[in-house]
Amino acid sequence: MLNQITIEGYLVRSWEYKGRRYMRLANHRPELEGVVSDYFTVQVDPSLPFDPIRLKPGRLLSVTGRLTGRDILEPLGRIVAKSGLTVELPAEISAKMIVRPTVEILALQVALLDDPHRKARKRKRKEAPNPALPVLTPLDAGADLAAVVST
């Protein structure tokens, strides 16, 4: 069966877990109210000579690969804590292990892309005018400083 995906996204963060390299990307899609981001996890194929940990967040990447699924075994307390809810769970419920299915992209190719917005921001910074320095007039020895300073 066909299982192939190509997607672009901005690097949000990257990490290594059990010898595997992962990254979280944000894909921006325009909506009526502005831009909405969809976040997805990418596992970098071990054979790729690409290390996302060396990249700064915000870089635009193109990923080609395939979808994979796996189960994450996690305590219920950690799931609730990550959700942002302020709920106190009893210890026996908090320690209960939950199987959480997830879908990831297994990256078979990763390419750094030029982000036109990033270039525009850099160009703006370079083109920012430098403030003009005041013109200095030489002083004669013994001159009255009060007369030189304009009020």
Task: Share the mean pLDDT of the chain.
Answer: 84
Residue 110 lies in a domain: yes
| Amino acid found at 75 | P
SS3 for 51? Answer: coil
pTM beyond cutoff 0.75: no
More confident residue, 146 or 81: 81
Residue 138 lies in a domain: no
CATH of the domain at 31: 2.40.50.140
Q: Which domain holds residue 61?
A: 5-68+102-115
SS3 for 123? Answer: helix
Could you read off the pLDDT of 68-87 as tens digits, one per residue? 998 989 999 888 888 888 88
User: Rounded to an integer, what distance in angstroms lies between the CA atom of residue 1 and that of residue 33?
Assistant: 37
Could you read off the pLDDT of 93-135 as tens digits, one per residue? 889 999 989 999 999 999 999 866 666 666 666 666 666 666 6
**Count of domains in the chain?**
1
Residue 15 lies in a domain: yes
Residue 43 lies in a domain: yes
CB 53 within 8 A of CB 40: no
Residue 52 per-residue DSSP state: G
Question: Which H helix or E strand runs over 116?
Answer: helix 116-127
Residue 128 lies in a domain: no
